Amino acid sequence: MLELRSIASGSSGNCICIGTDEHHILVDAGISGKKIENGLNGMELKTAEMDGVLVTHEHLDHIKGLGVIARRYGIPIFATEGTIRAISQTKSVGEIDPALFRIIEPNNTFQIGNMEIYPIPISHDAAQPVAYRVSHNGKKVAVVTDLGTYNDTIISELQNLDALLLEANHDINMLQVGKYPYPLKQRILGDRGHLSNERSGQLLGQLLHDKFGTVMLGHLSKENNLEELAYETVRLEVTLGDNPYKAEDFPIIVAKRDGLSQRICV
């Protein structure tokens, strides 16, 4: 069994737990150490039991609690060389023992416990960002957020998934008429920004297959999106898209911004 559960997913903080019966990892630690512990407790787990933290990139909503849990529990931190360098220069995270860092290479598989991890390079305005695909006993899940665009390579790397946490960051119209300054709007809309609801649905339409399980929409903007809007827009894009599936053919759920989301088991 492979389990994926979101502890928090949104523009203000991200932390996802993936595990098997014997081993568990976190993808990002962008909320406080206390919130991470509380979330894991709700899953009948403890932070001290984590076999590692996979960091997607160094933006604060993905590493806010990293220093605390690293110092408190000595948990190994897996990230690309560029991301590790950027984390080390982020003063608000505090000192982290360099011995805890494990450098990973994009497109190179590594093992944590009985899970196989594959980092996928993504387009985002960070040092060396990646998404992660996790496999165990023939089952595959992925956490894919913070990508401004996608290409055929990313589509290829995400084929035959059993479950997926996928970014649906913003509604384009809400963003365009909202209060954000123009340069920030352009950054979010650009190829190194974030996926809109529409683009999320279009990407999902290229990943579906007959045995696809659940998709969880995540990393929703607090200011520029709504849960219902993300849900309905992605469903519409899938149903009207150039693929043989309809939105009702598989479960779509939305991750909670600040709290445990539904458990996905494959």
Q: What CA–CA distances, in Å, run from 152 to 87, 149, 158?
A: 30, 11, 10
- pLDDT score at 180: 97
CA distance 58 to 189: 20
Evaluate whether 238 touches 185 at the Cβ level (below 8 Å).
no
pTM score of the predicted model: 0.97
What's the sign of the alpha-carbon dihedral 122, 158, 18, 31? positive
- pLDDT score at 118: 98
Torsion of CA 158, 113, 130, 28, to 10 degrees: 120
Q: Which residues of the chain have pLDDT under 50?
A: none
* Domain positions in the chain: 3-265
Give me the residues paired with residue 104 across strands: 80
| Per-residue pLDDT tens over the stretch 189-201 | 999 999 999 999 9
Superfamily of chain region 3-265:
Ribonuclease Z/Hydroxyacylglutathione hydrolase-like (3.60.15.10)
Evaluate whether 264 touches 163 at the Cβ level (below 8 Å).
yes
Evaluate whether 110 touches 157 at the Cβ level (below 8 Å).
no
The region, left, alpha or beta by phi > 0 then psi within -120 to 50, assigned to residue 51 is: alpha
| Per-residue pLDDT tens over the stretch 36-93 | 999 999 999 999 999 999 999 999 999 999 999 999 999 999 999 999 999 999 999 9
What 3-state DSSP class applies to 239? Answer: helix
Tokens 């996926």 belong to 195
